[in-house]
């Protein structure tokens, strides 16, 4: 099958990029074209091209330059025709709109994947009329499509993020720490894009650490991420460090993230980051925003957590509830961590993810 993956954002670091990279690996027996927006990280794209033998197309789908939009649109039409592309996998709302417009000219089928709630979407009811099949990475997003966008259930498909378990696997914690030049303090890791929604979680974690510090309990916290909320996080971390000592470090996104998962004692996060860390047999406190969260992932709630992509409304978020979940995470047994990792490996593989994608492509 000849497939165009349409990614109308700059390719950088994030959950959508990691989802698509897993898809690229699973589609290795197919001919795949990846269209990404100008402003992408070219070194990352070069690695993708070499690793997965794909064609990469640079387009302009953002900004107000209509001439560049038109030029990119015409180029995509030509590529679709010349390469007999059979399906478009659109990975953003804008990509879905472009796929719909392309289908008018070249009669091509397409799906649209939803990675987040599309906060900026206007005229929500129109999308159910122009998007034939939706793919969502969590049950929460499916409910949003039903309730806010008016999609019928036969047009919405849940596909969990697939994880590369040859890369995300347990290794000796001391070896991982030596590789990263880390000491042996008890450590918490938080990895997230620092948007106003996700970045607020970092502040909650620091508040919880302050509550624990007042009880003379201290943990090393490493926050990995980038985004518009970062300055506020760094300022809060600096105030904590000035008061209690250098316990908090804020870092840019890293290439060797699997080492960091294995070096930490616990992780606080959601989505793909949570899945990857669980695969490394580490405890996870699941949280996506500063309103509600699941808390510690256990054998009893792992199935539910996967369905909602680790973004639940089980508990209200505050420094006390977060501190309690952190304390519970440090007490989770190694046996439980292994059992949870086994569930993740059985249900969230790249093979399972890609099989579902192909099934949806074939039924269009």
pLDDT tens per residue across span 282-294: 999 999 999 999 9
203 and 233 in contact (C-beta within 8 Å)? Answer: yes
When pLDDT is cut at 50, 70 and 90, the band that residue 27 belongs to is very high
Contact 41, 48 (CB under 8 A): no
Task: Tell me, yes or no, whether 22 and 123 share the same domain.
Answer: yes
CA pair distance 142, 216, nearest whole angstrom:
43
Chain mean pLDDT for the chain: 96
Are 213 and 330 in a shared domain? Answer: yes
Q: Residues 306-357: pLDDT tens digits?
A: 999 999 999 999 999 999 999 999 999 999 999 999 999 999 999 999 999 9
Domains contained in the chain, number: 2
Give pLDDT, residue 152: 98
Q: What pLDDT is attached to residue 119?
A: 87
> Any idea what the CATH number is for the domain that residue 88 is in?
3.40.50.2000
- Taking only the tens place, the pLDDT of each residue in 218-267 is 999 999 999 999 999 999 999 999 999 999 999 999 989 999 999 999 99
Residues 155 and 184 in one domain: no
- Please state the rounded mean pLDDT for residues 206-223: 98
Measured between alpha carbons, how far is 10 from 61 in angstroms, rounded to an integer?
10
Residue 168 maps to a domain: no
Are residue 149 and residue 182 in the same domain, yes or no? no
> How far is it, in rounded angstroms, from Cα 162 to Cα 309?
12
Structural domain that includes position 205: 173-347
| Secondary structure (3-state) at 130 | helix
**Both 35 and 120 in a single domain?**
yes
pTM exceeds 0.85, yes or no: yes
Is the domain of 144 the same as that of 273? Answer: no
| Same domain assignment for residues 136 and 35 | yes
246 & 285 share domain: yes
pLDDT tens-digit readout, 126-174: 999 999 999 999 999 999 999 999 999 999 999 999 999 999 999 999 9
What pLDDT score was predicted for residue 4?
Answer: 99
Task: Give the C-alpha distances (Å, rounded to integers) separating 77 from 67, 70, 74, 151.
Answer: 16, 11, 5, 28
Q: What is the pLDDT of residue 66?
A: 84
In a domain, 10, yes or no: yes
In the predicted structure, residue 64 carries a pLDDT above the cut 80: no
Instruction: Report d(CA 222, CA 189) in Å as an integer.
Output: 5
Give residue 63's pLDDT: 80
């Amino acid at each position: 099958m000849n497939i165009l993956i349409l990614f109308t954002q700059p390719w950088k670091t994030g959950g959508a990029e990691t989802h698509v990279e897993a898809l690229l690996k699973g589609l290795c027996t197919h001919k795949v074209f990846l269209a990404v927006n100008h402003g992408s990280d070219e070194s990352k794209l070069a690695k993708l091209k070499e690793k997965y033998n794909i064609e990469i197309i640079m387009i302009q789908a953002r900004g107000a330059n209509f001439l560049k939009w038109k030029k990119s649109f015409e180029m995509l039409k030509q590529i679709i025709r010349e390469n007999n592309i059979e399906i478009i996998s659109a990975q953003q709302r804008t990509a879905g709109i472009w796929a719909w417009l392309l289908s008018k000219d070249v009669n091509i089928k397409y799906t649209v994947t939803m990675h987040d709630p599309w906060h900026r979407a206007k005229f929500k009811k129109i999308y159910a009329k122009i998007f034939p099949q939706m793919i969502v990475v969590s049950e929460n997003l499916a409910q949003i499509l039903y309730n806010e966008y008016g999609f019928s259930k036969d047009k919405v498909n849940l596909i969990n993020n697939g994880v590369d378990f040859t890369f995300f696997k347990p290794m000796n914690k001391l070896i991982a720490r030596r590789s990263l030049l880390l000491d042996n303090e008890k450590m918490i890791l938080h990895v997230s894009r620092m948007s106003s929604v996700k970045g607020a979680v970092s502040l909650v974690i620091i508040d919880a650490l302050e509550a624990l510090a007042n009880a003379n309990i201290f943990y090393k916290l490493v926050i990995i991420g980038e985004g518009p909320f970062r300055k506020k996080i760094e300022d809060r971390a600096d105030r904590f460090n000035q008061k209690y000592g250098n316990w908090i470090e804020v870092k840019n996104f890293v290439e060797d993230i699997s080492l960091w998962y294995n070096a930490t004692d616990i992780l606080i996060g959601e989505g793909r980051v949570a899945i990857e860390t669980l695969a490394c047999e580490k405890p996870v406190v699941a949280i996506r925003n500063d309103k509600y969260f699941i808390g510690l992932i256990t054998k009893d709630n792992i199935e539910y957590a996967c369905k909602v992509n680790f973004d639940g409304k089980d508990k209200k978020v505050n420094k006390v509830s977060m501190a309690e979940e952190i304390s519970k995470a440090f007490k989770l047994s190694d046996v439980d961590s292994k059992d949870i990792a086994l569930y993740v490996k059985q249900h969230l593989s790249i093979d399972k993810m890609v099989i579902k994608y192909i099934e949806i492509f074939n039924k269009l």
